[in-house]
Structure 1
Amino acid sequence: MPAFRAAFPERATTVARLPAGPVEYRLEGDGPRTVAVFHGGHMRAGLALGEEVFTDAGFTVLAPSRPGYGHTPPTTGTTPAGFADATAQLCRSLGVRRLAAVVGISAGGRTALTLAARHPDLVERIILQSAVGFLPWPDRLTRLGGRVVFNARLEAGTWVIMRSLLRTAPSLGLRVLLRQLSVLPVHRLMAGLSAAERATLTGLFTAMRSGHGFVADMLPVPDCAAEAGQPALVIATRHDRSVPFAHAESLVAAMPNAELVDSRADSHMIWFGPDYPRVAAKIRDFLATD
């Protein structure tokens, strides 16, 4: 068995019963300050990606499943604005009066920005990682295909096929999936990954599900970037095919207090880039700034 066939650990979650509806969440760490992380498409609260930079720096991570993912039904919040309000309710129920930062990853970026814009008294800072902005997204072909293979009735079968491919031919499975995440040739992506990184990605992709969430992620959302006035880091790579770099540029242009961090990662998955230690240091410094 190749060394890079590995499971991605599912972490324990809780479901809060809120006025807005049920919200699945994970609260991890014991730091005095909390960072809320909105993960991207096909993800949920039980799957942690890129959170070590926060927990290692002494923060507690609050990770909710967005509507349609995990055990958060699509009726809770429904839109980024509605789920931003649900997240504010969740924070109050947990006794979190102030978030050191809200983090938006990929398709979770618009929810993070909406929370910051609608609840400025709750959110101190914004960190966006490979985040979808308010430009049209995804491209027309991906949107049409995504509505078919990731709709709630077919997505389970789609992921069964992908899991089967990843188990029987993990290298081929990774190539198929990584091709959607980078503008670079897939052989270059594979060559740049260590065995441990291949294991992590294989396990992550194997654990993914789309539920009702991904089709909803593709719907247009009102642009609130100019209303998010908190200090912000917008981290992106020019090699991202899934979320083009233009999204990061448009967000920085619209947001009143944003800094662009140009990652040198080969793909959408910035945590596997050769310069991620530099990016992580930038995040830590940003959170430590008064």
Structure 2
Amino acid sequence: MTTTLLDTSKGIVEFSYRGVGPAVLLIKGGHSTRETEFSHSSLIYEGFSLLTVSRPGYDYTERSTGKTPVEFADTIIEVLDHLNIERVNVIAISTAGPTGLALAAFYPERVSKLIMEAAETTGRMDEEGNKLLYTPTERILLSSLRQLLKLFPDVAMKHLLNKWTTEDAEDYLEKLSPNDRRFIYDLLDTSRSGKGILPKGEQTDFDIGHLETPVLGMYSQKDKKVQYTHALLLKSLVPDCEIFEVDADSHLIWIGKDARQVWDKRLEFLTQ
């Protein structure tokens, strides 16, 4: 994938911009890199252009570009200005949720719609678990897990799924199709710790009760990583918000028996 580096007022930020048509901004979740694919690239073939901005601490994006969601939202606006993009549809995944909300809250004139895909509404709700995400020990563990993936892929994937599903991880893995198993393998294989944002930087300390932007939240009841309470909070606070409950067995709402419904719902929301 061809990427571009932009020297913003807060530091270097990496992004890719592909396709022709209405712009969709994709902000990936924690440990995702430029190679991590959640199937959103197919939006290009549906008539959209896809702008993917690497989060602070990942790929070549410097941590200084956003130590809080609000600061990173400011940086993203500089990217939009550089590309002469007036308005975007935003898709925020997992821990990128607060950044998506910050964009909608502070730049409503630049955000047409916001989709929260298994996305945190506030980092505070999972603070205890998130404390483990950005430590030297965690970096070593993630690196070891990728090595294990090469030798014993099922063992490595089950270790990951134990944190992402309320179901039995072994049973869940056995039910998956070869393509879905490949999705998890590639997700783990492309994950990196980088110099990721500390948990305190992911917390939503601004008011989302006055958002003017239409919001679609897609969540699973069986998501162990981003619990369904995030969906309930989003629905209770945001005036124009629809929650689509995904019949998925884990945090990975992009695979499994309801994956097509997720794709169709996303397209419907973007085009309506």
Query: Within the alignment, does 1:224 sit opposite 2:207 as a pair?
Result: yes
SS at match of 2:125: coil
* Distance apart, 1:154 and its partner CA: 4.5
1:145 corresponds to: 132
TM normalised by structure 2 equals 0.94
**Bigger shift: 261-270 or 160-169?**
160-169
User: Pairwise mapping of residues 120-139 of structure 1 onto structure 2 (< 5 A)?
Assistant: 120-134=108-122, 136-139=124-127
1:205 to 183, 188, 207: 188
SS at match of 1:176: helix
1:56 corresponds to: 45
Structure 2 distance, partners of 1:218, 1:21, is: 17
Structure 1 distance, partners of 2:219, 2:76, is: 25
* Distance apart, 1:204 and its partner CA: 1.6
1:103 corresponds to: 91
Structure 1 distance, partners of 2:132, 2:80, is: 36
Query: What is the aligned residue count?
Result: 272
User: Pairwise mapping of residues 50-199 of structure 1 onto structure 2 (< 5 A)?
Assistant: 50-99=39-88, 101-134=89-122, 136-140=124-128, 142-146=129-133, 150-151=134-135, 153-199=136-182
1:284 corresponds to: 267
**What are structure 2's unaligned runs of at least 5 residues?**
none
2:6 corresponds to: 16
SS at match of 1:126: strand
Q: How big is each residue's C-alpha offset from its partner over 1:259-287, in whole Å with a ceiling of 9 and x where there is no partner? A: 00000011001011311212211111111
**What are structure 1's unaligned runs of at least 5 residues?**
1-10
Q: How big is each residue's C-alpha offset from its partner over 1:111-143, in whole Å with a ceiling of 9 and x where there is no partner? A: 011001111111010100000012623252x23
Contact 1:114 1:224 in 2 (8 A): no
Structure 2 distance, partners of 1:218, 1:73, is: 14
1:95 is aligned with what amino acid? N
1:273 is aligned with what amino acid? G
Amino-acid identity (%): 28
1:253 corresponds to: 236
TM normalised by structure 1 equals 0.88
SS at match of 1:120: coil
* Distance apart, 1:177 and its partner CA: 0.4
